[in-house]
Amino acid sequence: MACLIAYHGWGFDHTCWSDWQAYFQQRKHQFYCFNRGYFGQSHSPEFWGDRPYILLLHSFGLHLCPVTVIAATDIVVVFNSFLSFHPTEPRLQRRSRLTLQRMIDRFQTHPHETLQAFWHNCEAPEKQHPESMSHANFSLLQQDLTRLNETDLILQSPTIAAFQQGQTVWVIHSDRDKIVPMVQGATLADAVAASCWIRIPGAGHALPFSHPDSCWTLPPFTTLQLFLI
């Protein structure tokens, strides 16, 4: 039996991992979901029980995950994430910052519409959208959206150091990602010495939620079958 913990990114909640949770729990493995608290009660699970400990991180979830959780992990799988949200190339960075600032400004006056547009651009299935926005924490969503402007994991950061402690790290990115360009994922993979890089064609930012079956056939998960017995 294995223990898996999954972290969602900005604009999602724990329900985005529902297919994954069902898949692994049907196989008698423990599967727990982090919840930032954008929609409903926040929750930060910890590993316990039989190893291996497997950590799934989507997008901004990498930056929401405590270093202690990363350090305790045997296998890390990172989907469509980044060191810095903005590209390093000056022209692309200016464009990215302008786009994000427009989104921040729009969110202040039209949060519902901004979220709907974000989910659409992610190519996230409707069933993976949070169930209700009636109790959405718009203040926290705004705060974390603004944080993206400053998000930057330098190579000497405790998070990167935790990745380099010996566990297996897979960095997976889809080539049709409109939120985080694939070059951002490649930069992350280069920064993690033990990483294995996988490029997925034809999928958007919500790769693990829109294409879960395809993800489960990828090398990190077929390799996991050796543990999941």
Q: Give the pLDDT confidence of 73-117 residue by residue, as tens digits.
A: 999 999 999 999 998 889 999 999 999 999 999 999 999 999 999
Helix ranges (H only) for 77-218 are 90-109, 111-122, 138-147, 158-163, 182-191, 207-210, 212-216
User: Looking at domain 3-224, which CATH architecture does it have?
Assistant: 3-Layer(aba) Sandwich (3.40)
Which candidate, 140, 134, 130, 147, places its Cα nearest to that of 59?
147
Using CB atoms within 10 A of its CB, is residue 97 exposed (0-12), middle (13-18) or buried (19+)?
middle
pLDDT digits (tens, 9 = 90+) for 7-53: 999 999 999 999 999 998 988 889 999 999 999 899 999 998 888 89
Q: How many CB atoms lie within 10 A of CB 36?
A: 24
Q: Looking at residues 59-79, what average pLDDT do you find? A: 94
| pLDDT for residue 50 | 84
Q: What one-letter code names the amino acid at 52? A: P
| pLDDT for residue 162 | 85
